[in-house]
């Protein structure tokens, strides 16, 4: 039996710190191409459309691998999967550093996405094994927000490295960092306080199907999926692709001001994470309510900006990016709903299912915005007008309406099941008992 003293201990924080470093490095690898677009276009002699394929393909691989990765973690343990993912990313970055052709580089980025997909769910599994239930929401939020700063850290060092070291050496250094982290993870990480490498039952098609079916059958898993779906996509679409063009073309901000606003959004995400985690830990009954409240606030902010006659004032755009930034911490609530609804043997499978939600919604929105912009700006693929952006950004309302409706439906079932199992659950989970 697990000793209570093993949880929340110094060793727990050491294991979590290494897992967090692995996730941080994964985000760094994921984002390392963001500042290398012009260099990549020149090196591989590719068009802008081909260049965008790098990012889109990574996201598709990441989202598509979430359920398989969850199954692998349930079978082989978080430690083995995390070490494997880190090693894959290191080899992929080495391949990217040496690539001379577009197809070779594309294959390398696919494997970066594959390795990246194997980190976050594994870190969350270790958080659930090493910390007490009351501490888990806060540590989960910290994992998400600290890990995402890898995207910020990637910008300056990679810009410097590409200009001073050149393509091959810059990405070669990134690959070496991956090798070092693989070794550190192999030495420090343990799956649980009692077991270095945890193993679950052997995988078979029937077992896989049963695990996925049972995880999705839990109303808490479905609620978590739709929470992640509903809260993440607006901020992700802004930060990944469309925020900068919207602010510059639709709101007529300077390039510098647009960049500052996107940085404010990231800082809002980082600042809000621990606060959201603390509230969720104290009042878990209201987790879905908090998520729907954040989604509604984001939607209202967009409504004011899109309905504003002419350019929205700067203060309103600050409100918009701050609200969009809150979507990141709110999406993490989905994982806590999955944690409390599934047994440990299929927890990672449920986490993988939930983690697909936000990325699926983000991909749908990114593609929809591009299609609508092209539709509303015929014959001028880059001269997007404010009106075209208003049409395009309005696609978000379809996703919010779907997501909030599904959260409401599934949480009713989840709460009814919980009260059936424990009639006093509401009193205990509202901080009143």
Whole-angstrom distance, CA of residue 148 vs CA of residue 154: 10
Tokens coding 411: 């949480």
Q: DSSP character for 313?
A: P
What average pLDDT score do residues 18-42 get? 81
What average pLDDT score do residues 74-87 get? 92
Distant-in-sequence, close-in-space partners of 107: CB < 8 Å, separation ≥ 6:
95
pLDDT given at position 4: 47
Phi then psi for residue 64, to 5 deg, are -65, -25
CB 211 within 8 A of CB 238: no
Task: Provide the sign of the torsion angle of the four alpha carbons 135, 220, 114, 367, taken in this order.
Answer: negative
Over the stretch 190-205, which tens digit does the pLDDT of each residue have? 988 888 887 777 777 8
CB 285 within 8 A of CB 430: yes
Tokens coding 395: 């696609």
* Cα angle 221-128-326, degrees, rounded to a multiple of 5: 65
Q: DSSP character for 382?
A: T
Whole-angstrom distance, CA of residue 311 vs CA of residue 313: 6
Given a cut of 80, whether residue 32 has pLDDT beyond it is: no
Confidence grade of residue 417 (pLDDT, cut at 50, 70, 90) = confident
- How many other CB atoms sit within 10 Å of the CB of residue 386? 14
CB 71 within 8 A of CB 203: yes
For the chain, how long is the longest CA-to-CA vector?
67
Helix residue spans in 247-376 (DSSP H): 255-282, 287-307, 314-339, 347-376
Whole-angstrom distance, CA of residue 246 vs CA of residue 393: 9
pLDDT given at position 237: 84
Phi then psi for residue 412, to 5 deg, are -60, -45
Helix residue spans in 32-135 (DSSP H): 37-44, 48-64, 66-76, 78-98, 102-117, 120-130
Over the stretch 263-307, which tens digit does the pLDDT of each residue have? 888 888 888 888 888 888 888 889 999 999 999 999 999 999 999
Confidence grade of residue 140 (pLDDT, cut at 50, 70, 90) = confident
What average pLDDT score do residues 172-184 get? 94
Tokens coding 152: 């910020």
> DSSP of 37-58, one letter per residue?
HHHHHHHHT--HHHHHHHHHHH
pLDDT given at position 2: 43
Least confident piece of the model among 10-14, 163-167, 202-206, 290-294:
202-206
Given a cut of 60, whether residue 60 has pLDDT beyond it is: yes
What average pLDDT score do residues 201-223 get? 86
Segments of the chain assigned to CATH 1.20.1250.20: 7-189, 206-433
Q: Which residue has the higher pLDDT, 58 or 29?
A: 29
What average pLDDT score do residues 45-54 get? 68
* Cα angle 402-365-403, degrees, rounded to a multiple of 5: 15
Task: Provide the sign of the torsion angle of the four alpha carbons 224, 230, 231, 233, taken in this order.
Answer: positive
What average pLDDT score do residues 209-234 get? 93
Whole-angstrom distance, CA of residue 184 vs CA of residue 180: 6
pLDDT given at position 234: 94
What average pLDDT score do residues 168-183 get? 94
Over the stretch 358-408, which tens digit does the pLDDT of each residue have? 988 988 888 888 888 878 886 655 577 899 899 999 999 999 999 999 999
Using alpha carbons, select from 323, 399, 298 the residue that is nearest to residue 358.
399
- How many other CB atoms sit within 10 Å of the CB of residue 262? 19
pLDDT given at position 432: 40
Whole-angstrom distance, CA of residue 275 vs CA of residue 287: 13
Instruction: Quote the pTM value.
Output: 0.78
CATH code of domain 7-189: 1.20.1250.20
As a whole-number percent, the residues of the chain with pLDDT over 90 amount to: 41
Q: What is the mean pLDDT of the chain?
A: 86
Total residue length of the chain: 433
CATH code of domain 206-433: 1.20.1250.20
């Amino acid at each position: 039996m697990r000793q209570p003293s093993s949880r929340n201990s110094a060793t727990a924080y050491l294991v979590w710190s290494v897992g967090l470093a692995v996730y941080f490095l994964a985000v760094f690898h994921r984002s390392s191409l963001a500042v290398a677009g012009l260099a990549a276009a020149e090196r591989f002699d590719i068009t802008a459309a081909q260049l965008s394929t790098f990012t889109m393909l990574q996201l598709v691989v990441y989202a598509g691998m979430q359920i398989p990765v969850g199954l692998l973690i349930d079978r082989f343990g978080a430690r083995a999967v995390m070490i494997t993912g880190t090693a894959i990313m290191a080899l992929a970055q080495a391949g990217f550093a040496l690539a001379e052709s577009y197809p070779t580089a594309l294959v390398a980025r696919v494997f970066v996405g594959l390795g990246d997909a194997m980190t976050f769910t594994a870190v969350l599994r270790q958080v659930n094994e090493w910390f007490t239930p009351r501490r888990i929401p806060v540590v989960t939020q910290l994992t998400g927000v600290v890990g995402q700063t890898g995207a910020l850290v990637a910008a300056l060092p990679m810009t410097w490295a590409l200009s001073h070291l050149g393509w091959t050496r810059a990405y070669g250094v990134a690959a070496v960092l991956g090798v070092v982290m693989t070794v550190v993870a192999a030495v420090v990480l343990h799956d649980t306080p009692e077991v270095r490498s945890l193993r679950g039952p052997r995988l078979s098609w029937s077992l896989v199907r049963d695990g996925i079916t049972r995880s999705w059958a839990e109303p808490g898993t479905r609620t978590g999926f739709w929470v992640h779906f509903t809260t993440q996509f607006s901020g992700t679409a802004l930060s990944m692709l469309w925020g900068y063009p919207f602010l510059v073309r639709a709101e007529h901000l300077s390039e510098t001001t647009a960049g500052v606003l996107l940085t404010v959004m990231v800082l809002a995400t980082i600042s809000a994470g621990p606060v959201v985690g603390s509230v969720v830990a104290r009042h878990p009954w209201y987790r879905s309510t908090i998520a729907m409240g954040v989604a509604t606030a984001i939607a209202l902010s967009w409504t004011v900006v899109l309905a504003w006659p002419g350019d929205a004032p700067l203060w309103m755009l600050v409100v918009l990016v701050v609200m969009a930034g809150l979507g990141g911490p709110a999406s993490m609530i989905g994982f806590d709903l999955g944690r409390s609804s599934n047994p440990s043997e299929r927890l990672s499978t449920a986490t993988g299912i939930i983690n697909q939600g936000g990325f699926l919604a983000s991909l749908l929105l990114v593609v929809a915005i591009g299609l609508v912009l092209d539709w509303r700006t015929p014959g001028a693929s880059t001269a997007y007008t404010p009106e075209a952006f208003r049409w395009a950004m309005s696609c978000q309302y379809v996703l919010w309406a779907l997501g909030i409706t599904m959260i409401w439906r599934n949480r009713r079932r989840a709460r009814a099941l919980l009260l059936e199992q424990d009639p006093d659950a509401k009193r205990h989970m509202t901080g009143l008992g």
